[in-house]
């Protein structure tokens, strides 16, 4: 299966049997779940390459990241 893109969604507009208005927007969000993720407060995943660092440094990065996330969620 090929994931629908903006061209696919534009093609649907005004077609017989295609949803219209708000129903079309809901269908697009259903077909393209990343659009909902863009509205979430935390939508970024950072995956640093850390194979070369020491276990202590890796743990420090995890600890700092967790602290930052807690602060963001608190505000």
Angle at 32 between CA 65 and CA 47, to 5 degrees: 20
pLDDT at 27: 86
pLDDT at 8: 86
Q: Note the pTM of the prediction, 2 decimals.
A: 0.42
Position 42 scores a pLDDT of: 65
Please count the structural domains in the chain.
Answer: 2
Terminal Cα distance for the chain, rounded: 40
- pLDDT of the residue at 56: 92
Domain match, 33 and 47 both: no
Query: Longest C-alpha distance within the chain, in Å?
Result: 61
**Cβ-contact 3, 32 below 8 angstroms:** yes
Same domain, 32 and 49: no
Residues in the chain predicted with pLDDT less than 70, given as ranges, are 1, 36-38, 42-44
Q: Tokens in use for 50?
A: 């850390």
Same domain membership, residue 46 and residue 26: no
Residues 72 and 54 in one domain: yes
Which residue segment(s) compose the domain that 18 sits in? 6-37
């Amino acid at each position: 299966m090929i994931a629908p893109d903006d061209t696919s969604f534009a093609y649907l507009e005004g077609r017989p049997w295609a949803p219209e208005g708000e129903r079309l927007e809901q269908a697009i969000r259903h077909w393209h779940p990343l659009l909902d993720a863009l509205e979430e407060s935390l939508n970024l995943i950072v995956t640093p390459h850390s194979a070369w660092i020491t276990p202590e440094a890796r743990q420090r990065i995890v600890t700092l990241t967790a602290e930052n996330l807690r602060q963001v969620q608190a505000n």
